Structure 1
């Protein structure tokens, strides 16, 4: 069908299509790219289009044209747009040649979990996409993920090694909203330090414990204001006496969080930018390695504090010996570039086609 449509649809040289997490969200690097370009006079006459699975849910005033990524007409809009900006698949896992288009990929994080042929239990559909998708430009954080993505996405035409736009997201929020306002929006009335808990989606029925229990969350709530946000595949149901923030901006929560707890999520690579405490809770690490796979051992390779039981986690958090130099080293090795480097690189890419 796509090949047939390509015969009849001529791309608009000044149209850019954005999508985040395959249409599930208005967020992350595609959103930052959108905000950057919609306020740039050089792109004032460009048509900036967003694709969502449920476009009626998104009523942000800055949004212009919206389309449905689940509609039969999606590929018409995709082919009509000269440029595609995504942080996962924009082509609905159907890779195809696109000589008249420019596919720009901002992958959603530094790969901690195995991807591609290294990923245990990966479906054939997704593996085929990894092997055959052709990004014209793929942005990387550092030499580490550059090496991994070269293997995962072998048909990428050019890797852009100027980092990611993600670092500019918090800077943009800081210009428009205060931490006090964020706390108000989340219903936080306490002056206790804020703990952000971000567990990872497993994708299988785990035999071992994966998440913190209600009892432990309640215990932590005595010292912290605990915010829970699940992976975008999870339902984000409440757990214990805590605040749930399924649809709230992750980067706004970065602004107010004093401590992060996660497990196998690469989100901590972005959080260490702010020099705040990170703890990893991995009681099922042995099972996760077998059933999902990881590239890095957080304790041996990254030297982060890792707990394998709730008792151990509480003890780590109560100890007064946190090594902040570990965070600095992670930033320097895995996320060294400033957001403006990526912003300048993106604009240079787009301007070269004028």
Structure 2
């Protein structure tokens, strides 16, 4: 039996099925636009294309839900599997895989996303306001600079027109201008992810999070977050289970894989793939990642970041990078032995973290929150 994700992959990676999907989708949307008028006080939220209730769309949702000025707004969440999300605060949810999805999309005046909300069918939406937060500072190549990108996805990058796109700094502002050439307005006020940090720090107890994770040890907590390669790698890409077990003798090791990645089979490791990343940031004493932009969001916690990139050359050829770790001043290792030696060093260069925050994440969450609400008030 073919699953929904397999069907999506066939459509994305096949030129024939991709274009067939696109033109059928565009035809249906244009027909629906003749009859459906948006509710001026309805907002549709989606995170990671319907996979999660998380990240900046969730923070935008919380900002509106908790503000009495928006008490009469209808807040709708779109999920691939709505039944999996039972949070009490979600009072309106729909299936992003349903044929009715585009009805709800057109019915909503505002769209809030951190990736594609239009199911890779970019279309004119004069009556709707598309607000894009994206899901991190771009380190990996995107759009035309991304190697081996599926035709349907490339077409989306070229044609999608965000009404507002939020950026962290001048760095990603310049990159996203190239990646999304049809974006109407960039909002360079930082990201709502800063507000997520404030929310958890203000309401969440670290010891309670550790209890949820089953952490009983007083050892330092090491968070390991490898990214997804998207190709058949010939070289080593992630830490082996043997090395994770070795690290577990000194640290409490938490493994947080990408949603497309395999889980570790190591029995001593805490797997937290569905746990809030920001709660994990709070309890972790250090981070190991590779090419994931997650370290940009971890850096404001002023805790050590280590990069493990044994397949750097292959990754540059098959996926592409905008810059290398050395340009950031972060410690980078190309073998497991090298990583262990790096972790055992007594000193860490915290000045490099401060420089990284100043360059890539200089704004406060309040700036982004104010800008987001201003869009709702003035459009």
Q: Does 1:61 align with 2:88?
A: yes
CA distance in 2, matches of 1:233, 1:302: 27
Deviations 1:235-262 (A, max 9, x none): 4343351000010000000000000000
Q: Does 1:200 align with 2:227?
A: yes
Q: Does 1:38 align with 2:91?
A: no
Deviations 1:24-81 (A, max 9, x none): 0000000000011100111110000000000000011111100000001000000000
Q: Which residue of 1 aligns with 2:9?
A: none
Q: Which has the higher helix share?
A: 2
Q: Does 1:310 align with 2:336?
A: yes
CA distance in 1, matches of 2:254, 2:197: 18
Q: Does 1:184 align with 2:207?
A: no
The runs of at least 4 consecutive aligned structure 1 residues that moved more than 4 Å come to none
8 Å contact kept, 1:238–1:244: no
Shift of 1:176: 2.3
Helix, strand or coil at the partner of 1:18: strand
1:195-344 correspondence runs (5 A): 195-299=222-326, 301-344=327-370
1:119 is aligned, of 146, 151, 159, to 146
8 Å contact kept, 1:215–1:240: no
Q: Does 1:87 align with 2:129?
A: no
Q: TM-score by structure 1 length?
A: 0.98
8 Å contact kept, 2:241–2:264: no
Answer with 5-14 or 226-235: which moved more. 226-235
CA distance in 1, matches of 2:33, 2:374: 27
Distance 1:55 1:235, change over 3 A: farther
Instruction: Say what the alpha-carbon RMSD is for the aligned residues.
Output: 0.8
Deviations 1:61-116 (A, max 9, x none): 11110000000100000000000000000000000000000000001000000000
Q: Which residue of 2 aligns with 1:160?
A: 187
Deviations 1:297-350 (A, max 9, x none): 111x10110000000000000001210000000000001100010000000111
- How many residues matched? 352
Structure 2: gaps spanning 5 or more residues: 1-27
Q: TM-score by structure 2 length?
A: 0.92
8 Å contact kept, 1:217–1:240: no
Helix, strand or coil at the partner of 1:175: helix
